[in-house]
Amino acid sequence: MKMNKKWWVFLSAALMALFLAACSYGGEEEAEGEAAASEEAVSGGKVSIPIVADPTFNPWHPSAYAESNVINRVIFDGLTKPGKDLVPAPDLAESWETSEDGLTWTFQLRDDVTWHDGEPFTSEDVVFTFNDITLNEELGANSASYFGQVESVEADGDYTVMFNLSSPVAALPAYLSFNTEIIPEHIFQGEDPWDLTSFNKENPVGTGPFKLKSYTSGQSVVLERNDEYFGDAANLDEVEYKILPDANTHVAQLLSGELSIFALDDTSAVERIESADGVDVDGRDTNRFFWLIVNQQEERFQDVKVRQAMEYALDRQNIIDTVLQGYGTIADAGITPALSEYYTDDVKQYPFDPEEAKKLLAEAGWEDTNGDGFVDKDGENFEIIFDIGIQGDLEAIAQLVQQYLIDVGLDVQLNTMDWNTMIDKVVIQRDYAMTLNWWRYPPDPDLKAYMHSDFAEQGNNIPAYQNEEMDKLLDAGAETSDVEERKEIYTEAQKLMAEELPYMFLWYPQEVQVKRSDIDGVPELAFGDTLHYIQEWYMAE
């Protein structure tokens, strides 16, 4: 397969065992910290990165997704961050440990951190971020689904915090490394965290290696080096984020030298980029799966035969071979092959089979009774509005999906919109029938945030899937730190995912990372993870 030529290397079992040991008991040995810049590193220069829409400078804001994460990881810091070996590494926390019963995690914080406005960072900022923002169910904070078992966070002095849990969460240090950065209490106290425009859209204050220099809506965000950063000062002078919705523009500006580095969303251009001078192309493994979802709050989508029919209707391999240029493998459940310790392909699979799709639709009561080419029930066609946000190759993929579903009798109408409008409509308002997108998650098989009934109304369970058996499996997997027990639990969970299809799983993509050859110091990680080490990047002489 073409994919095999693109450096698809799975994480080893030994790495995952190491990860779980550190994640579960994070104990007393600290994970590897930041690497010092190499002797060749030089100070100065600027890199430019594309984003598709105006960002929100608040990692917890319900509208802060892909376009915001790549900036917030640079402005703000979390308690932990992804290590270069994917084991959670220290960031604002220097070390952590858990109690014998797994119900209390204690984090020791750095005592040399200041916010960009000069105020000191303390445990009160962590307590505020979690108690007042994350755990406030009325707010519906982004990523709050990760912390459903956290009852409270309390300070023990200025530089120690304790997370009190209702049940053990083996993956807590991993979750704290993933889009869960700390925000300043002294600015947000007493304010509505979502309406504080002066921060969220104008002047964010973080602790990270870069701080805001300028922001022009619809054009760019420019960050400058934070000389008061607690770690080694960044080599680069500036990081510019250019707001460019069109993926073709990303490619053109990369080739012209106007853009520096990013994860390529539209892989149709990869061969042209590979043949260009001064540009490097690398495949990176990620914990990510693409999905098609239907709103299971609608009765017609609660019938699993309908969801299975839709899966059979899709020629996923053709999309991988054509649109993705081979950078992916078919997905049948949510745990990716990169998590080799837990992944299994011994699950129900859905080869491209339009006739089986039509058969299942008929068994669910949907047949073409009037010969118009569309299946119907009680005189109504099976009509679906298919909402898509414009980003990368999503629209091209959606057009193929639309045609495959029309071919088996579903009346699918594509509704494209800008990215931020899609986030508001689909993710926040839950006002949709069908959509297509992806999830990227920390290197742990705990998928409660995406499939558990607790998060069906508000959280990352956007399809609103609810199943008591799945809940029990996800709860059990989250609570145990024993690798062998977790293997058994998540094998059963994957089998249930493949049968039930909370998501119509599409593929596990391999990220295509592109960068100008004159940029060095970028660790061999997925692009989103490299941003946690942006202070190490430099322009080669």
418-442: pLDDT as tens digits? 999 999 999 999 999 999 999 998 8
Task: Give the model's pLDDT for residue 52.
Answer: 93
Residue 12 near residue 337 (C-beta atoms within 8 A): no
Q: What backbone phi and psi angles, to 5 degrees, belong to 162? A: -125, 130
Rounded CA-CA distance 434/383 in Å is 11
Helix (H) / strand (E) containing 241: strand 238-243
* Site of tokens 């059963």: 492
* Residue 299 reports pLDDT greater than 50: yes
Answer whether residue 202 shows pLDDT above 60. yes
DSSP secondary structure code for residue 120 in this structure: B
Q: What token pair was written down for 527?
A: 């692009």
Write the CA distances from 72 to 143, 469, 541, integer angstroms: 14, 36, 29
The answer, yes or no, to whether residue 292 has pLDDT greater than 90, is: yes
Buried-state track 456-473, b at ≥16 Cβ within 10 A, e below 16: bebbbbbbbbbbeebeeb
307: left (phi over 0), alpha (psi -120 to 50) or beta: alpha
Q: pLDDT category, 31, cuts 50, 70, 90?
A: very low
Residue 153 in tokens: 């966070």
Q: How far is it, in rounded angstroms, from Cα 301 to Cα 299?
A: 5
The residue type at 165 = L
Convert the pLDDT of each residue in 317-344 to its tens digit. Answer: 999 999 998 999 999 999 999 888 999 9
Average the pLDDT over 217-225 and give the result. 98
Regarding predicted confidence, which is higher, 84 or 293? 293
> What pLDDT does residue 442 have?
86
Q: How confident is the model at residue 55 (pLDDT cuts 50, 70, 90)?
A: very high
Least confident of 103-107, 200-204, 269-273: 269-273
Shortest CA distance to 322 belongs to which of 270, 272, 248?
A: 270
The Cα 405–Cα 58 span in angstroms is: 38
Half-sphere exposure of 521 (CA within 13 A, CB side): 26
What tokens does 99 get?
A: 């109690």
| Homologous superfamily assigned to 46-248+517-539 | Periplasmic binding protein-like II (3.40.190.10)
Polymer length of the chain: 541
Please give the backbone phi and psi of residue 223, each rounded to the nearest 5 degrees, phi first: -110, 145
Q: Which two tokens stand for residue 177?
A: 């490394």
Confidence of residue 65 (pLDDT cuts 50, 70, 90): confident
Give all strands of the β-sheet with 411-417 in edge-to-edge order. 411-417, 383-389, 434-440, 288-294, 504-505
Q: Where are the domains of the chain?
A: 46-248+517-539, 288-511
Lowest mean pLDDT among 21-25, 63-67, 528-532: 21-25
Helix residue spans in 367-467 (DSSP H):
394-407, 419-422, 448-451
Q: Under 8 Å CB-to-CB from 372, ≥6 apart: which residues?
A: 381
> Average pLDDT for residues 342-355, to the nearest whole number?
97
In the chain, what percentage of residues exceed pLDDT 90?
A: 83
**Residue 6 token pair:** 């693109």
Distance CA 68, CA 114 (A): 22
Evaluate the CA torsion angle 245, 251, 256, 258 in order and state its sign. positive
Beta strands in 85-230 (DSSP E): 88-90, 93-98, 104-109, 150-155, 160-165, 210-216, 220-225
Whether 11 has a pLDDT exceeding 50, the answer reads: no
C-alpha 133: how far from its chain's center? 20
Tell me, what's the pLDDT at 28?
Answer: 36
Query: In the prediction, which pLDDT does 40 show?
Result: 65
Angle at 396 between CA 390 and CA 397, to 5 degrees: 100
Model confidence at 33, pLDDT cuts 50, 70, 90, reads very low
CA nearest neighbour of 526 among 317, 313, 283, 295: 283
Give the separation between CA 459 and CA 326, rounded to whole angstroms. Answer: 32
Average the pLDDT over 402-406 and give the result.
Answer: 98
Cβ partners under 8 Å of residue 322, min gap 6: none
Helices vs strands, H then E, count in the chain: 17, 24
User: Which of these ranges, 9-18, 366-375, 441-450, has the smallest mean pLDDT?
Assistant: 9-18
What's the pLDDT score for residue 443?
A: 83
Whether pLDDT at 309 is above 90:
yes
Distance CA 4, CA 6 (A): 5
Q: Quickly state the pLDDT bin for 21 (edges 50, 70, 90).
A: very low
pLDDT for residue 25: 31
**Residue 505 predicted with pLDDT over 80:** yes
pLDDT at 227: 97
What would the mean pLDDT of 162-189 be, rounded to a whole number?
Answer: 95
| Residue 12 scores a pLDDT above 50 | no
Taking the CA atoms of 146, 152, 155 and 161 in sequence, report the sign of the dihedral they define.
Answer: negative
- Asked whether residue 64 carries a pLDDT value surpassing 50, the answer given is yes
Mean pLDDT of 199-212: 98
- Of 71-80, 86-95, 153-162, 352-361, where does mean pLDDT reach its minimum? 86-95
Tokens of 292: 């098609």
Q: Does domain 288-511 have CATH number 3.90.79.10?
A: no
Q: Give Cα separations from 28 to 86, 106, 144, 310, 443 (angstroms).
A: 18, 11, 27, 49, 21
Predicted confidence band at 51 (pLDDT cuts at 50, 70, 90)?
very high
What pairs with residue 66 in β-bridges?
none
Average pLDDT, stretch 68-94? 95
Which residues, listed in sequence order, are joined to residue 294 by a DSSP beta bridge?
434
Return the pLDDT at 3.
Answer: 37
